[in-house]
Amino acid sequence: MRSLFRGRFLVPALLLVSVGLFGLLVFSPSASSATSATSTANTGSSGAGLKANSGQFPETPGFSSSPNQSPSGDGIYNVSLPQSFIAPGQALFAANCASCHGGDAAGTDRAPNLQSLGAGTVDFWVSTGRMPLANSSIQAARKQPRFNNLQSLEISAYVQSLAPGGVKVPVVNLSNANVGNGFRLFTLNCAACHTITGAGDALADGAYAPSLHYATTRQIVEAVRSGPGNMPHFGPGNISNAEVRDITAYVHSYIQHPINRGGFGLGGIGPVGEGFVGLLIGVGALMLVCFWIGDRT
């Protein structure tokens, strides 16, 4: 370490180089501000008449931001899954889910009753990879999904066929969404658990509110309606379809692609992170400069 300070110009040169590298890091595409590319996060269409159109990004025309304008249609189309999904769904269910949930999805002592939860609920759990459960803990975690989009919908169709009711699978069209309204509603209803930047945080009794950065638009709507785990249930009487669409548009755009105009986002965890950077990098770098300028004896 001492040899580092031998060449007396080495330290400031290192400072300049590290600043330059930091700058390159900032200019790398992943950290830049929101792009106008259409999102492909929602899984592709799966044939059989389902259009999984995730809608355009807010910057493009067609997005209204005036709070009082009533859009045409509310953007959420609750679909009934085709009958042809039920048989393959039953097969998948029997092979992967029945061992815990029972062959008729009525539940066992290991897993709850899925009947009348609805296809949308099941699709949320399966398409986010939470189910099949990897290890039993207090809360199932999002992971690499075992099933693709079509299979998830098939399983959902099967469970829906066992009992009526519950949340349906939504097709989400964001083209008339109002992100301003979405921002307002998100802050009032979602930020208290998921944080205002959607980063997620720990809850009581070992639960946690997950990060919102990975959810597709369909999963967002399904989660809001079905209230998985400790999440409350937000039905249409509480948050209307149009409002859910607005919230989804906001999450899908400004939460998942935040405008970090100020530079490197530092993870969005707030002032504690900023404090560490300010002290370690800010005060630290300046102390290194002091070390260079001054004597050491």
Residues 158-217 that bind other proteins (CB under 8 A): 179-180, 182-184, 187-189, 191-197, 199-209
CB nearer to other proteins: give 109 or 205. Answer: 205
Residues in 16-45 at the binding interface with other proteins, rule: CB under 8 A: 16, 19, 22-23, 26-27
Q: How far is CA 152 from the centre of its chain?
A: 18
Site string for other proteins, 123-162 (x = CB under 8 A): ----------------------------------------
2 forms part of the interface with other proteins (CB under 8 A): yes
- Tell me which residues in 221-260 interact with other proteins (CB under 8 A): 227, 229-235, 237-238, 250, 254, 258-260
The dihedrals phi and psi of 168, each to the nearest 5 degrees, come to -90, 165
Based on the shown chain and the rule CB under 8 A, indicate whether residue 4 belongs to the binding site for other proteins: no
CA-based angle 131:118:139, to the nearest 5? 35
Question: Do 211 and 116 contact (CB within 8 A), yes or no?
Answer: no
- Looking at the Cβ atoms of 145 and 228, the one nearer to other proteins is 228
CB of 112 closer than 8 Å to CB of 162 = no
CB of 281 to other proteins, least distance (A): 7
> Looking up tokens 């189309």, which residue turns up?
77
Query: Which residues, 61 to 90, sit near other proteins by CB under 8 A?
Result: 63, 65-67
End-to-end CA separation in angstroms for the chain? 17
Cβ density class 136-148: b for 16+ within 10 Å, e for less: eeeebeeeebebe
* Angle at the Cα of 4 from the Cα atoms of 3 and 6, rounded to 5 degrees: 60
The residue among 94 and 279 lying less far from other proteins, judged by its C-beta, is 279
* Omega within 30 of 0 (cis) for the link into 12: no
Query: Which helix (H) or strand (E) covers residue 220, if one does?
Result: helix 217-226
Q: Segment near other proteins (CB under 8 A), from 57-65, 101-109, 116-124, 149-157?
A: 57-65
Per-residue binding string, other proteins, 254-293, x by CB under 8 A, is x---xxxxxxxxx-xxxxx-xxxxxx-xxx-xxx-xxxxx
State in angstroms the smallest separation of the CB of 86 from other proteins. 26
Candidates 42, 55, 58, 252; binder of other proteins (CB under 8 A) is: 58
Element (DSSP H or E) covering residue 77: strand 76-79
The interface region with other proteins, picked from 59-67, 70-78, 100-108, 126-134 by CB under 8 A, is 59-67
- Which value, to the nearest 10 degrees, does the dihedral of the CA atoms of residues 121, 122, 124, 125 take? 120
CB closer to other proteins, 71 vs 200: 200
Which residue, 63 or 125, has its beta carbon nearer to other proteins?
Answer: 63
133 with 229: CB under 8 angstroms? no
121 touching other proteins, by CB under 8 A: no
What is the Cα–Cα distance from 254 to 180, expressed in whole angstroms? 11
Identified binder of other proteins from the candidate list 48, 51, 59, 60, rule CB under 8 A = 59
